[in-house]
Structure 1
Amino acid sequence: MDIRLLYLDGCPHVSVVEVRLKSALAIVGRGEETIQHVLVETPEDAERLGFIGSPTVLVDGTDPFATGDEHSALACRMFSTPDGRAGSPTVEQLAQVLSGDVPASG
């Protein structure tokens, strides 16, 4: 599994997403997986990488939280969670995506 964490320098949510990703990987029995960090610095990088805001999680090249209406942007990103909008998906949302159970969006 290829897991990439795309982010802007100084994004306050990157560390939260990383901790939650590691927890989710442990839950689904894939704790040995490596999370690749990718710094996005230019609009061209954002376009090329499918980056729609910081942080963006790509699993095997796909953003499971994208709805399809977004455009590439050097901006902060918010996610829909059971508790409302947040700067990171929940551990449970990430675990669902990583296990292949439920495709997430938003």
Structure 2
Amino acid sequence: MRLELLHIDGCPNTVKAYERLKEALSCVGRGDVEVHLRVLKSATDIENTGFAGSPTITLNGTDIFPAGAPASELACRIYMTPDGFDGLPTVDQLAEALTSSGI
């Protein structure tokens, strides 16, 4: 199992996304799972990653939020949260997505 947080240089949401992801893993009893941070620096880096904007979280290469459209450029991502659009999902959304993805 490989859990990756794909991001671009300078993404203002990377650190907070990592923190929320670690918290969500604890919430679902999988605090032992390692989160691999992977910076994407070019369009070539995006190929075959499941990247849908920064930050994207993949499990074994598949976006855990499948509604995200694959990106072909280095760009930010927007998530729909209970409070409206945001640059990253909530801890609850992450926990639900992780569980749905079979973690």
**TM-score, normalised with respect to structure 1:** 0.86
Aligned to 1:10: 10
- The ranges of structure 1 where at least 4 consecutive aligned residues each deviate by more than 6 angstroms after the TM superposition are none
1:50 and 1:72 in contact (8 A); partners too: no
- CA distance in structure 2 between the partners assigned to 1:62 and 1:84 by the alignment: 24
Aligned to 1:77: 77
- CA distance in structure 2 between the partners assigned to 1:46 and 1:88 by the alignment: 19
Larger strand percent: 2
Q: CA deviation at 1:68?
A: 5.8
Provide structure 2 residue ranges, at least 5 long, that are not aligned to the other structure. none
- CA distance in structure 2 between the partners assigned to 1:86 and 1:75 by the alignment: 14
Aligned to 2:91: 91
**1:27 is aligned to 2:50:** no
Please list the CA deviations of residues 46-103 of structure 1 after superposition, one character each: whole Å capped at 9, or x if unmatched: 12322121111002221122326443220111111111110111000000111228xx
**TM-score, normalised with respect to structure 2:** 0.89
1:65 and 1:79 in contact (8 A); partners too: no
- CA distance in structure 2 between the partners assigned to 1:37 and 1:27 by the alignment: 20
Corresponding residue SS for 2:25: helix
1:52 and 1:74 in contact (8 A); partners too: no
* Count of residues in Structure 1 that have an aligned counterpart in Structure 2: 102
Identity of aligned residues (%): 46
Aligned to 1:60: 60
Q: Tell which deviates more after alignment, 61-70 or 80-89.
A: 61-70
- What is the root-mean-square deviation of aligned Cα atoms in Å? 1.8
